Chains A and B, each alone.
Chain A
Amino acid sequence: MKLHEYQAKRIFAQYGVPIPEGDVATTPEEARAIAERIGGPVVVKAQVLVGGRGKAGGVKLAKTPAEAEERARDILGMDIKGLTVKKVLIDPAADIQDEIYLGMVIDRARQRVVMMASAEGGVEIEEVAATNPDAIKKIVIDPFLGMKSYQAIGVASSIGLDKSQFRSFSKIATGLYNAYQGSDAELAEINPLVVQGDGSLLAVDGKMVLDDNGLFRHPELAEKRDVDEEDPAETTARLADLSYIKLDGEIGCMVNGAGLAMATMDIVKFYGGSPANFLDIGGGADAEKVATALGIILSDPNVKAVLVNIFGGITRCDEVAKGLLKAIDEVKPDVPFVIRLVGTNDVEGREIMAAANFPTATTLAEAAQMAVAAAKGEVNS
């Protein structure tokens, strides 16, 4: 689950990281009032859960409260990569002398949390990793010891901070680590961490992605999920405990199991079609879950055919077939279906589907080719 910049920075602040004393506005008038209270120049920043806000014109400097109101008017309602801006953050403009990157991620190969820092702040870390990997300094954190101050000071020194800043950098790095651990995060970034004219450090931009599996420990964070920024079908799927990701193809896919669902998308592509979605209905596909899944797939107007690929393991294929028929009867889809059932009692399952006049397939290759033909309007026999 992604958090907005202002949410991430407020969490960082709870752990002792200095952040600008700004506030969030949903109207231009509120933006003006916040700018008046701050006094002096401010930055108006779109709060959307995508990268590249600045390039899209979603971050603007304003010298006066009147200007802040105007900039907020420009930015609120703006479309950034398909998302509508509904909130802006008004922060005092920082006195930027230098920009640092500071981030925490999980390094899968090392199986550890890793802190990364670079003197090249203000640009995306992936870009630095590609162009100047030596500029990125890493600390691998021992899960039993946590982050130690000598590690943070070592990084501060290696990225060229002045020794007068070691203590404040260490406090920020420790705060970020504690915020990361305390929120069950997958990613926490301060970019840039600004060195101001007086030498003090300030977390000007923040980003946080939380581990969905850890949210049960943080009901107060789970409430911060911004469903406005999710695809509505993905929200429905999440609430129904289905795993759904919308793609831009024409063949809707309903599959049990994540790996098989990906393999099904791939084989659709292999035979010249394009998958409309990833959808894993999980184990024990009962009629209700299948009906919800069907509804989600068909809510995408691009879908021209649906491929159902179920491996009946402990769930028997004849039961899956009955569940499917019940769900189809409920949803009454108007696009062609291709059903592939394989595994335990698959012959009986296919007989049930065939008796109800649904094209069935034995192999995945055959099913994918039939679905591709059906999406092109060719009739399956």
Chain B
Amino acid sequence: MSILVNNDTRLIVQGLTGREGKFHASQMLDYGTNIVAGVTPGKGGQEVLGVPVFNSVAEAKAATNANASIIYVPARFAGDAILEATQAGIDLVICITEGLPVLDMITVKAFVDQSNTRLIGPNCPGLISPGQAKVGIMPGNIHQPGKVGVVSRSGTLTYEAVFALSHRGIGQSSVVGIGGDPIIGTKFVDVLALFEADPETEAIVMIGEIGGTDEEVAAAFIKNHVTKPVVGFIAGQTAPPGKRMGHAGAIISGGKGTAAEKIKALEAAGVPVASHPEEIAELIAARL
């Protein structure tokens, strides 16, 4: 079992004809992901990597009955691409693109929240259910099918944690990168609820970082609603205040959003917090 993506995922790639889109689509196809269509306005009728290209998401959905879409279009068009997929009635939209203006995202998120679409990202690596479907930019080969769910605001830091888990023979049910922006479609609590409800997930890894209060909200949620063991990690204990640490959302502002506060909240909820990334796998191994 898994959450969000699986063997039934029928994926559209928005931006399939671009360099990034084409590269990652070929990686996803190699992994076995069922890519049914590409979308690039003005390039409908072409075929890329054996996948038919359409002018719009609505056309692609009508022709292929797609249920998910992944977005690789440049930042200035990405907000529009999310809205298009949402309006076409796609169930799950994943936006990989980094650098969307935050005011665009506020409007986009408000619109998506009124629909039945779930948005993952933006500025995220995507998600994978090992052995079933890879919908993102993560290296597929480091993952193993298994029973640990992983949710994270980061990219390579997540790969690091997954690599350490797989190295110990601990597989993953699904790994979800929710993104490093201040306004994101799906938050920790949403994914924690899905893992809690997934019968095959037996333990959860939650990787947070400085900025915002989503980790604190997640800690309260875990305390009240999650029965499975959760292991945490928070990046940015040495980050200075007022500086944006790579991710648009990773900033301590007005004294809020520090790693210390987040670690305290998680520990108060009974979640052990690893002191460095490799310890995540040790803590999980002790709880399976």
Question: Which residue numbers of A lie inside 8 Å of B, CB to CB?
Answer: 106, 108-109, 111-113, 125-126, 129, 142-144, 181, 184, 186, 211, 213-214, 216-217, 243, 245, 247, 255-263, 265-270, 274-275, 278, 280, 283, 311-314, 342-344, 363-365, 368
Contacts and interface: CB of A to CB of B under 8 A. Distances in A.
Interface in B137-159: 137-139, 141-142, 152-159
Contacts, number: 168
B103 A269 contact: no
Contact of B76 (A211, A216, A263, A278): A216
B163 A266 contact: no
Contacts of B155: 257-260
A364 B280 CA distance: 13
Contact of A259 (B101, B138, B157, B240): B157
A313 B245 CA distance: 21
B237 A313 contact: no
30 contacts: A106-B106, A111-B183, A112-B106, A113-B103, A126-B254, A143-B107, A247-B240, A257-B157, A259-B154, A259-B157, A259-B209, A259-B235, A259-B246, A259-B247, A260-B156, A260-B157, A260-B160, A262-B239, A262-B245, A265-B239, A267-B276, A274-B238, A275-B238, A313-B137, A314-B27, A342-B163, A344-B139, A344-B141, A363-B278, A364-B160
A311 B103 contact: no
Consensus secondary structure, chain A interface:
mixed
Given A184-B103, A216-B76, A263-B233, 18 more contacts: A108-B182, A108-B214, A112-B106, A112-B110, A143-B110, A144-B110, A213-B75, A245-B240, A247-B238, A257-B155, A258-B155, A258-B250, A263-B160, A269-B237, A311-B160, A313-B142, A344-B141, A364-B276
Contact of B152 (A255, A259, A368): A259
A268 B235 CA distance: 12
A45 to B, nearest CB: 22
A363 B238 CA distance: 20
A211 to B, nearest CB: 5
B89 interface: no
Given A109-B213, A111-B110, A278-B246, A314 B137 contact: yes
Given A216-B76, A270-B275, A280-B246, A257 B156 contact: yes
B21 interface: no
A367 B99 CA distance: 32
A186 B242 CA distance: 13
B281 to A, nearest CB: 11
A184 B249 CA distance: 16
A343 B139 contact: yes
Contacts of A126: 254-255
B254 A129 contact: yes
